[in-house]
Structure 1
Amino acid sequence: MRFSSVVKAASAVAFATLVAAEGDSDVLSLTASTFESTVNPESLILVEFFAPWCGHCKALAPHYEEAATTLKEKNIKLAKVDCVEQADLCQSHGVQGYPTLKVFHDGEPSDYTGPRKADGIISYMIKQSLPAVSEVTVANLEEFQKADKIVVLAYLPTPTSSPAPEFSAAANKHRDSYLFGLTSDPEAIAAAGVTPPAIVVYRAFDDPSVEYPYPVPSATVKDIEEWVQDLSIPIIDEVNGENFSIYAQSGKPLAYLFLDPTEEKRDDYIESIRPIATKFKGKVNFVWIDAIKFGDHAKSLNLAEAKWPSFVVQDLEHQLKYPYDQSLTVEPEAVSELVEQFLAGKLEPQLKSQAIPETQDESVYTVVGKNFDEVVYDDSKDVFLELYATWCGHCKRLKPTWDSLGDHFAGVKDRLVIAKIDAPENDLPPSVPFRVSSFPTLKFKPAGSREFLDYNGDRSLESLIAYVEESAKNSLEPKVVVEGENDTQVVFEAHDEL
């Protein structure tokens, strides 16, 4: 059994030195000549690849040092590589940004996916050092129950009783996120006050222990992981860059309470929302967020005024926003009603949109949120749409090519629209079956269809033209107007001579 004194290690975080004195660091400095001889013999070691000029690396440094000091007691080493001095070494390990952290098990690397604060690094690396499922006895039961923020413990008649295989599979899948244990020790089971088979989640927040409410022997990996994931999210907690991924991965809508953290009534506002968060637990995740630090995020959620507290529900799956009217005081009853209406599908999302251009003089048509459906879903036309951001370097480089593409097909703009939309400034309507995660994103919608095709080819003008010619449903032959008899006009499609 490799589990021991986890609580002592976690408690030591508060007493570890933030930054070791110069020359007395517990972080090993590696070079090309020492890397393999240091890393390969270790069953577990964490390596940071950094650049001295990198701001994120500087911010990580004291936390990394603190974690190294604490984990030294567990015989878990932390090391670093200066990628300015050891450029070839970093390149050989596929380092493309700073800081890059990699976990090495017996010389084999894997990406570090944990937090970048000291306690998070310590917790993550302790989990890496343990078997996916730790053996628990009466001797270490109480210690194990409090060993991490989320502890999942199975109490079974024997180590192989159902659902031990499913439980182990779930543990292997989520070992980076949660601490898993199993006991069949009768004394431990008696001390826990449970009747086997049972699975209990122990938490450092909300209800400290929650027992699996369904028949345990038939629990599957999916059942266990979904139950634990739901319990791993507090009723209401502060959200930030460290834990946002937990909420994003849950797939549930996210309700934000934006607060000024210096406000005297901050805790009162949070507690007034807690009963509502409890009421909708499992359907909507509730968080509070630093409105001063994350003011730009408030704007992206269509909270136009810097007025706090403010409240908004975000449908993460469809990237739709439902803000509470900022002209009104945030009242718990009204918040509850808004969430109720949202879940019932009775609320219309608030869509951000630039003004519709008064004229469209360019060969590339400017689409905004307000005219998206009208322009893009015009069944009579093929539409090739660029979703861009003004700050995106790739978008800036594409612009002259995209303009040239519009010029090339200017003669058939009655059948083909080369278009663009500033995605950060214009919300896509609910009718759109995709969301944008990178820029530029290029989508082709054939005439008469509601399907959007992804363009993943190179961005040369020749390739874009070829793609349009291949994908368009309408004829791309330009029309020629000639004068007929009695001053009538006759329209012909131009064709090459045979």
Structure 2
Amino acid sequence: MPAPRTVDPEPLILVEFFAPWCGHCQALKPHYEAAATELKSENIKLAKVDCTVEEDLCSEQDVRGYPTLKVFRNGVAKEYGGPRKTEGIISYMKKQALPAVSTVTVDSLADFKAKDKVVIVSFLADSDKKDLEAFTKVAEKHRDSYLFGHASAADAAKAAGVDAPAVIVYRSFDEPEVKYTGKISDSEALEKFIKQESVPLIDEVGPDNFMTYAEAGLPLAYYFTDPEYKDKDADIEKLKSIAKEHRGKLNFVWIDAIKFVNHAKGLNLDGENWPAFAIQDLQASTKYPLQDLGNDAEKSVGDFVSQFAKGTLKPSIKSQPVPEQDGPVFVLVADEFDKVVLDDKKDIFVEFYAPWCGHCKKLAPIWDSLGEAYSSHKDKVVIAKMDATENDIPPSGGFSVGSFPTIKFKKAGTKEFIDYEGERTLDAFVEFVAEHGKNKVKVELPPVNETTEEAAAEKKEEHAPKHEEL
């Protein structure tokens, strides 16, 4: 077990803080041990701490969940930001062991190009100061993701078959070498190019690499399929030409539809019929499902993607039917979102909930009481709720909901939503509306014992049907 005296002298060491009973720790164990064995030859050490035994040490290191991984450099800790599979751990730690930009020579070029899946090498003379500065800037920013090298000698460029000045992306997939054709001194353009060329035309996506795609800033095009589907590989091969045509505008992936069926449903696919296709624009919070690929997946997907690229494809917005309003709280659905929420005359307070969420169940009677408190002021204040598992937030909302309950307030005459992060009590909600609302509606509440209020909420939750939380 590492203690401060163990990590302090180490130039680089990765430490896992774990608990033996933790399922995620057990899943990580074989990958972590395999990576530790492989990295021995690189003189990179991996260690682990059992936090059920070393409680004080884990508290000192601010370990709040398991497993927690930290990279230590001479005793100074930094959160580990890499994948949690063997290959990803090895790749990440090899990058950590190197400077942001490694020196590459004629003799080391071949070995350096093969060190990782994506290796970026600049062939620049020492006099190309602006280019070197821009390249180094990008390398410092993305050292955890890619391997960067610099060759200054003219014979290195000659050996590589490159006309300097140049930046080359070497890859273990698709075309093995891709040359950057823009201005090297333009660090933003160089960064964009590297991100674009660092992903395969079509790769399998999962928890280990999803963030790579999310951070790329491009819409994600998913081919959902059963891994056992007989035409899977043939379809993926055919889709590569479409992916290449739209490279830089969309990233294409294939995904295990059986394992990640909930993700498919989240993109408004039915979750039952495969293969299927969908485009997700994470930046705009929009989704475009294509359930039926017909007999020709290549043509169906090609036409669909072309419509998306032209901007003629309308996003899919899931909505419950418009309900009759017979309760104290307005039941909001996606089809009425713009009509209700964007009404400039009214302040609006909305709870976005999930039916299975325990915190939402506890809040329900309090939120109903809030609706009743403003029942005579509906022309100025709307208290609403939306089932965010059955309704999408339209693009006009400008936000997405990732946890429950999410409570937002919009002042009349504005488009900005304010996150409510205060206490979930009737008094606190009323005070918030009075302070932030444009219409300055104030209501008088009958004296209510807060413990009684909470007891009522707990009683309602106690008798509610139980659901497993996601």
Look up the match of 1:427: 392
Look up the match of 1:291: 257
Aligned match for 1:142, one of 92, 97, 110? 110
Give the Å deviation of 1:200: 0.6
Look up the match of 1:199: 167
Instruction: Read off the aligned partner of 1:74 and give its amino acid letter.
Output: E
TM (norm. structure 1) is 0.85
Give the Å deviation of 1:102: 0.4
Aligned match for 1:268, one of 229, 234, 256? 234
Q: Which moved more, 1:240-249 or 1:371-380?
A: 371-380
Q: Which moved more, 1:376-385 or 1:319-328?
A: 319-328
Matched, 1:282 2:266: no
Q: Deviations over 1:55-97 (max 9, x none)?
A: 1100100110011111112221111111112222212211111
Instruction: Read off the aligned partner of 1:451 and give its amino acid letter.
Output: E
Look up the match of 1:370: 335
Q: Deviations over 1:157-190 (max 9, x none)?
A: 2276441122112111110000000111233221
Q: Deviations over 1:370-394 (max 9, x none)?
A: 2212222233322101112233344
Q: Distance in 2 between matches of 1:293 and 1:164?
A: 45
Aligned match for 1:256, one of 212, 222, 225? 222
Q: Structure 1 residues 40, 399: CA separation in 2 closer, same or farther (over 3 Å shift)?
A: farther
Q: Distance in 2 between matches of 1:459 and 1:271?
A: 53
Is the CA contact (8 Å cut-off) linking 1:159 and 1:183 kept in structure 2? Answer: no
Secondary structure of 1:72's counterpart equals helix
Look up the match of 2:201: 235
Q: Structure 1 residues 329, 365: CA separation in 2 closer, same or farther (over 3 Å shift)?
A: farther
Superposition CA RMSD, Å: 1.9
Is the CA contact (8 Å cut-off) linking 2:262 and 2:271 kept in structure 1? Answer: no
Give the Å deviation of 1:131: 0.8
The alignment of Structure 1 onto Structure 2 pairs a total of residues equal to: 444
Secondary structure of 2:306's counterpart equals helix
TM (norm. structure 2) is 0.90
Look up the match of 1:208: 176
Alignment of 1:72-221 (within 5 A): 72-158=40-126, 161-216=129-184, 219-221=185-187
Is the CA contact (8 Å cut-off) linking 2:277 and 2:293 kept in structure 1? Answer: no
Q: Structure 1 residues 401, 95: CA separation in 2 closer, same or farther (over 3 Å shift)?
A: farther
Look up the match of 1:352: 318
Look up the match of 2:190: 224
% same residue: 52
Look up the match of 2:370: 405
Q: Distance in 2 between matches of 1:81 and 1:330?
A: 53
Q: Distance in 1 between matches of 2:443 and 2:230?
A: 68
Give the Å deviation of 1:44: 0.5
Q: Distance in 1 between matches of 2:29 and 2:198?
A: 28
Q: Distance in 1 between matches of 2:428 and 2:207?
A: 39
Q: Structure 1 residues 391, 108: CA separation in 2 closer, same or farther (over 3 Å shift)?
A: farther
Give the Å deviation of 1:477: 5.8
Look up the match of 1:468: 433
Is the CA contact (8 Å cut-off) linking 2:182 and 2:190 kept in structure 1? Answer: no
Q: Distance in 2 between matches of 1:55 and 1:208?
A: 39
Alignment of 1:436-475 (within 5 A): 436-474=401-439
Look up the match of 2:272: 306
Is the CA contact (8 Å cut-off) linking 2:268 and 2:289 kept in structure 1? Answer: yes
Q: Which moved more, 1:76-85 or 1:319-328?
A: 319-328
Q: Distance in 2 between matches of 1:450 and 1:119?
A: 46
Secondary structure of 1:417's counterpart equals strand
Look up the match of 1:342: 308
Q: Structure 1 residues 131, 454: CA separation in 2 closer, same or farther (over 3 Å shift)?
A: same
Give the Å deviation of 1:266: 1.0
Secondary structure of 2:239's counterpart equals helix
Q: Which moved more, 1:448-457 or 1:411-420?
A: 448-457
Give the Å deviation of 1:305: 4.4
Is the CA contact (8 Å cut-off) linking 2:14 and 2:72 kept in structure 1? Answer: yes
Q: Distance in 2 between matches of 1:126 and 1:325?
A: 42
Secondary structure of 1:425's counterpart equals coil
Q: Deviations over 1:423-461 (max 9, x none)?
A: 122111222222223332221122233332232333333
Instruction: Read off the aligned partner of 2:258 and give its amino acid letter.
Output: I
Look up the match of 1:382: 347
Is the CA contact (8 Å cut-off) linking 1:382 and 1:417 kept in structure 2? Answer: yes
Matched, 1:392 2:357: yes
Is the CA contact (8 Å cut-off) linking 1:159 and 1:182 kept in structure 2? Answer: no
Is the CA contact (8 Å cut-off) linking 1:230 and 1:282 kept in structure 2? Answer: yes
Is the CA contact (8 Å cut-off) linking 2:319 and 2:390 kept in structure 1? Answer: yes
Is the CA contact (8 Å cut-off) linking 1:405 and 1:461 kept in structure 2? Answer: yes
Q: Deviations over 1:169-226 (max 9, x none)?
A: 211111000000011123322110112111111011111011111243xx23222211
Q: Distance in 2 between matches of 1:159 and 1:75?
A: 35
Q: Deviations over 1:101-142 (max 9, x none)?
A: 000011000010101011111111111011111111111110
Instruction: Read off the aligned partner of 1:96 and give its amino acid letter.
Output: R
Q: Which moved more, 1:349-358 or 1:165-174?
A: 349-358
Q: Distance in 2 between matches of 1:124 and 1:305?
A: 35
Q: Distance in 1 between matches of 2:52 and 2:359?
A: 26
Q: Distance in 1 between matches of 2:343 and 2:183?
A: 53
Give the Å deviation of 1:475: 5.2
Give the Å deviation of 1:342: 1.4
Aligned match for 1:321, one of 282, 287, 292? 287
Is the CA contact (8 Å cut-off) linking 1:411 and 1:478 kept in structure 2? Answer: no
